[in-house]
Amino acid sequence: MNAAEFENLVAEALDTVPPELAAMIENCVIVVEDFSPPGQPDLLGLYEGIPLTERGEFYSGVLPDKISIYRLNTLAICDSREDVVEEVHITVVHEIAHHFGISDARLHELGYA
């Protein structure tokens, strides 16, 4: 799957986020990259930033949070286009949940491992 097709899947996954939650995503960019950072070959996505639950009254003037979705890592673990669609959706929801302050443990309980 080429980069444009994968980016479209990420956009489609973002479109499934309920509007009331999407409106609450603040100061955050979402990017597609080919590979995860060195030494972390199993990552499909990564949230870097300050979760909404940790932003206090003095939160201002900071760079945007960043959600990265790793295309080639995802493609490497999927056997079909349907697998890629499902994995992208799970990864996008998982990383957005981190933006809202939801832990990995809670995401595992909810089925977004």
CATH class, domain 3-110, is alpha beta
Query: pTM of the prediction?
Result: 0.89
Phi, psi values for residue 47, rounded to 5°? -105, 130
Instruction: Name the CA dihedral angle for 39, 44, 48, 53, rounded to a multiple of 10 degrees.
Output: -130
Q: pLDDT for 54-112, tens place per residue? A: 888 888 888 899 999 999 999 999 999 999 999 999 999 999 999 989 888 888 887 76
Confidence band of 11 (pLDDT split at 50, 70, 90): very high
Structure tokens at 81: 């286009």
Which residues share a beta bridge with 68?
Answer: 31, 46
Instruction: Using CB atoms within 10 Å of the CB of residue 106, give its burial: 0 to 12 exposed, 13 to 18 middle, 19+ buried.
Output: exposed
Q: pLDDT for 20-52, tens place per residue? A: 888 888 889 999 999 999 999 899 999 999 998
pLDDT at 108: 82
| Domain ranges for the chain | 3-110
